[in-house]
């Protein structure tokens, strides 16, 4: 691991700031100050900052089934309820949400202190798949469903979902939408552009992860199997397969 990455993982500062600490001679490895960038260390090396040994944080991955009326931010100057209130007892490490769900959107939200995975998931080219359960204010006409399937033009460009269908066993006000776009409020804007109001929006799948058996407002750690699947999805996310939902 690169030294600046190790310092960042220890929660001392960002990688960029870690480079400054290194160049200023404030970091030592095995008792010797290091002043050059690009140095790599092994698990056996002792890294110190201000004379104290530092250790990289344990990687934490937590899933939350977000309820309504919580905003996705680590802090809010208006003192509204945030998702951090719901996971405050989940970890001693500093974790943060990956991506956002707006205040009225419920469902799956991932938290981690793994900066590499968070950056890959958030990158525009990642094509990470998300599945939403949409409840509209009125029945979605079959013709409008077909138009959305074929793609529509919004104010910020053309958008096409990866899959869309009526929710089996429910009224035609309830729709399943699979999409990889990360544009702001994209699912709501798709339906609003066609004269529908989204009454409820719930994310049931994100990057291969699901909220099965996770009730609203509850959280849990990822299993080892889920972490393997998450990494697999990230590696193959450049391809966007069409799937039936």
Give the start-to-end residue ranges of the domains of the chain. Answer: 3-53, 61-125+209-235, 130-206
Distance CA 174, CA 151 (A): 19
Q: What is the pLDDT of residue 238?
A: 61
In 3-state terms, what secondary structure has residue 1?
coil
pLDDT digit string, tens, across residues 109-166:
999 988 888 888 987 777 899 999 999 999 999 999 999 999 999 999 999 999 999 9
The rounded mean pLDDT for the chain is 91
DSSP 97: E
**C-alpha pair distances (Å), 68 with each of 21, 51, 135, 152, 216:** 42, 46, 14, 28, 9
Please determine, for residue 198, whether its predicted confidence score (pLDDT) is greater than 90.
yes
pLDDT digit string, tens, across residues 68-85:
999 999 888 888 999 999
Question: Across-strand partners of 158?
Answer: 153
Distance CA 136, CA 149 (A): 17
Question: Model-level pTM?
Answer: 0.78
Largest CA distance in the chain: 70
pLDDT digit string, tens, across residues 202-223:
999 999 999 988 999 999 999 9
Q: Are 72 and 86 in contact (CB under 8 A)?
A: no
Active site annotation includes 102: yes
CATH of 130-206, one of 3.30.70.1290, 3.40.50.360, 3.30.2350.10, 3.40.50.300: 3.30.2350.10
- Domain 3-53 and domain 130-206, same fold? Reply is no
- CATH superfamily to which 3-53 belongs: RNA-binding S4 domain (3.10.290.10)
In 3-state terms, what secondary structure has residue 34?
strand
CATH code assigned to 61-125+209-235: 3.30.70.580
Q: Which of 5-14, 37-46, 143-152 has the lowest mean pLDDT?
A: 5-14
In 3-state terms, what secondary structure has residue 222?
coil
Catalytic one of 45, 76, 85, 102: 102
Distance CA 79, CA 73 (A): 11
Q: What is the pLDDT of residue 222?
A: 95
Please determine, for residue 199, whether its predicted confidence score (pLDDT) is greater than 90.
yes
Confidence of residue 99 (pLDDT cuts 50, 70, 90): confident
């Amino acid at each position: 691991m690169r030294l600046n990455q190790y310092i960042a993982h220890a929660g001392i500062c960002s990688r960029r700031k870690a480079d400054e600490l290194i160049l200023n001679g404030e970091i030592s490895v095995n008792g010797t100050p290091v002043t050059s960038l690009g140095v790599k260390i092994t698990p056996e090396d002792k890294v110190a900052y201000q004379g104290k040994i530092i250790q990289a944080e344990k990687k934490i991955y937590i899933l939350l089934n977000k309820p309504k009326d919580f905003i996705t931010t680590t802090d809010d100057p208006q003192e509204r309820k945030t998702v951090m209130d719901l996971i405050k007892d989940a970890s001693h490490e500093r974790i943060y949400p990956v991506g956002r769900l707006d205040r009225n959107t419920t469902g799956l939200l991932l938290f981690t202190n793994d900066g590499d995975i968070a950056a890959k998931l958030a990158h525009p080219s990642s094509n990470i798949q998300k599945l939403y359960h949409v409840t509209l204010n009125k029945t979605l006409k079959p013709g409008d469903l077909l138009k959305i399937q074929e793609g529509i033009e919004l104010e910020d460009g053309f958008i096409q979902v990866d899959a869309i269908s009526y929710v089996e066993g429910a009224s035609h006000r309830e729709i399943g939408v699979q999409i990889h776009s990360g544009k702001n409020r994209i699912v709501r804007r798709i339906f609003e552009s066609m004269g529908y109001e989204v009454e409820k929006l719930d994310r049931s799948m994100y990057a291969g992860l699901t909220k099965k058996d996770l009730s609203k407002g509850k959280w849990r750690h990822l299993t080892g199997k889920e972490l393997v699947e998450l990494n697999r999805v990230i590696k193959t996310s450049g391809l966007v397969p069409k799937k039936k939902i």
